[in-house]
Amino acid sequence: MSNWSSETASLLKHFHMSTGDQFEREQSVVRMAAPEWKIVTPLIGLLVHAAIQNSILVIVPFVLLLLLLLLQLNKKHVHLLDFAVFEPPEEWKVSHKDIGKIIRNLSSERKRRGLAHHSELDAQFQQKILANSGTGDATAWPPAIVQYRDENDNEIPKHFIRMKHTREEAETILFQCMDKLLAKTRIKPQKIDCLIVNCSLFSPTPSLCAMICQRYGLNAEVKTYNLSGQGCSASVIAVDLARDFLKSNSHSNVVVLSTELISESIYHGHEKSMLIQNTLFRSGGAAIMLSNKWYYSGASKYSLHSLCRTQVSDDESYKSVYETEDEEGNKGIALSKKITDVAGKTIAMNLKTIAIKVLPIVEKIKVALSVQRKNGKRKITYTPHIKRAVQHLCIHTGGRAVLDTLQEKLKLSDDDMKPSRHVLYKYGNTSSSSIWYELDFLEQEKRVKPKDKVLQLAFGSGFKCNSIVWKKL
């Protein structure tokens, strides 16, 4: 009996030492999800009892049963261990005045080279849009663009914007996000089973995924996915793909990287619908670690409660955010005047779907009882407020006009909109990563309490609206 106990203790000690890197975070994982713990605890108790009785015939079946149960639990839940957002260096930050100087200096240089360039009227139009954008005086543009801030009209910049500058932008943003995420989670890169990177405008060869694999020495068997052209709601699409991977692969870790790379994205023509993009988008990025490993459940920040994707395919929606060329061949993104209406319609469709999944049962009953039928048509007279389903909102920073419309239509308070307004002012529209800056803001403000639900709502080209509900652990 004593020999068995000492040998077991020795084996457990060796096992813990040999897997120390993976189990560093398990020090705090005594708090498993309650339903699972209620199932596992009796099995562990029986296993200990069998061990005391020194009965191999009893031990072996229970070990197998416990392992099978844990494998099933792995597939059931998706946990968000932690996330990290890109904080731009001081030299990347620009004021509204800086942006005006950059636009004019860049145009002067392109004119000197005989390339398409903005007129003074174009520069004034962009300055006017910028003044009403809701962005502050310290948002970030990459160095390839910011270099024109300090150039006089008669000077030649040291560098002209090329693909290598966008690659450098990608490395700065994604490497910082990855470094911060790995430091927070203490998970080694070789323990990442799946990597998903989303970036709409820049899709090089080798891919951004390959760049991350090469930098961090990811396992040769890692599954990688590069998502492009998916717009500002792409991070939710990436999380959806991660969820599907985790459902099919037990005991796995997935990293999602969301960014937009804009070094080469300045539009140089004269179409007003395409000039808006120059005043809208800023540099940003986020890294997210997801897992279905049961021993991470107690150490994770959130569990994935619900996810909903809505794709609207009519012509007006499809053309509302559209990458194209103007008559002179200048490439850019055209924003339709109907974009606010399109966004409102698509968001309403998405919220109706996800509300069914997250509304408390009492609210669902109220909705059901409010249904009235007249002339063969069904009408719902009770519409629950979104805050009855979730406690916190992270609405994509699509622009001040969009946020104003959503606040009015959804009857949200200024406090409800504070994460979006704050992020728009401090960082600008960072595309798909904006919802993670907003969640970061909520955490810094210590607003999210255990069991609270957080809705991340993103929308963009396609036209799409995608949403996630996280439950705080």
pLDDT tens digits, one per residue of 139-198: 999 999 999 998 654 555 557 899 999 999 999 999 999 999 999 999 999 999 999 999
Name the helix (H) or strand (E) containing 194.
strand 194-198
Do 227 and 234 meet the contact criterion of CB atoms below 8 Å apart?
A: yes
Residue that is last in its domain, among 77, 111, 132: 77
Dist. CA 108–CA 106, nearest whole Å? 5
Distance CA 410, CA 403 (A): 10
Per the structure, the complete domain to which residue 38 belongs is given by 2-77
Structural domain total, the chain: 2
pLDDT value at residue 4: 37
Under 8 Å between Cβ of 254 and 291: yes
CA atoms within 13 A on the CB side of 207: 15
| Angle of helix 234-248 versus helix 434-444 axis, rounded to 10 | 80
Is residue 291 one of the residues assigned to a domain? Answer: no
Give the CA dihedral 109, 111, 112, 113, nearest 10 degrees: 90
pLDDT confidence of residue 465: 97
CATH value at residue 377? 3.40.47.10
Give the model's pLDDT for residue 364. 85
List Cα–Cα distances, 3 to 9, 58, 183, 444, in angstroms: 10, 19, 41, 52
What mean pLDDT is predicted for residues 71-91?
A: 85
Residue 246: inside a domain:
no
Rounded CA gap, 266 and 461, in Å?
A: 18
CA dist list (Å): 179 to 25, 55, 83, 340: 17, 48, 11, 37
End-to-end CA distance of the chain: 41
The pLDDT of residue 45 is 61
Is residue 11 domain-resident?
yes
Q: What is the pLDDT of residues 309-334, one digit of tens each?
A: 999 999 999 999 999 999 999 999 99
Question: Residue 436 in contact with residue 395, Cβ under 8 Å?
Answer: no
Tokens of 168: 């450098």
**158 falls within a domain:** no
Give alpha helix (H) positions in 92-207: 96-112, 120-131, 143-146, 163-185
Q: Give the whole-angstrom CA distance, residue 96 versus residue 256.
A: 32
Domain endpoint, select from 46, 77, 108: 77
Please check the confidence at residue 6 and state whether its pLDDT lies above 50. no
Q: What is the pLDDT of residue 298?
A: 86
Our measurement of the distance from residue 91's CA atom to the centroid of its chain's CA atoms, rounded to an integer in Å, reads 25
What angle do the packed helices 120-131 and 272-280 form, to 10 degrees?
A: 50
- Does 408 reside within a domain? yes
pLDDT digits (tens, 9 = 90+) for 342-370: 999 999 999 989 988 999 988 888 888 88
In-domain check, residue 384: yes
Between 19 and 175, residue with greater pLDDT: 175
Task: Decide: 271 and 334 in contact? Cβ < 8 Å.
Answer: yes
Q: What's the number of CA atoms in the CB half-sphere (13 Å) around residue 385?
A: 11
Q: Which residue, of 62, 77, 92, is where some domain finishes? A: 77
> Is residue 340 in some structural domain?
yes
pLDDT over threshold 70, residue 19: no
**Domain-embedded: residue 230:** no
Which amino acid belongs to residue 48? V
Query: What is the rounded CA–CA span in Å between residue 455 and residue 467?
Result: 7
Contact residues for 138 (Cβ-Cβ < 8 A; gap 6+): 93, 94, 95, 426
| Cβ–Cβ under 8 Å, residues 421 and 403 | yes
DSSP helix/strand/coil, 200: coil
- CA 359 to chain centroid, in Å, comes to 23
pTM equals 0.84
Burial code (b: 16+ CB inside 10 Å, e: under 16) for 361-397 equals: eebeebbeeeeeeeeeeeeeeeebebeebbbbbbbbb
The Cα–Cα gap between 258 and 197 comes to 6
Report residue 410 as tokens: 């959804």
Residue type, 142: P
Q: What is the pLDDT of residue 71?
A: 56
Quote the pLDDT of residue 92.
98
* Rounded Cα–Cα distance for residues 43 and 33 (Å): 16
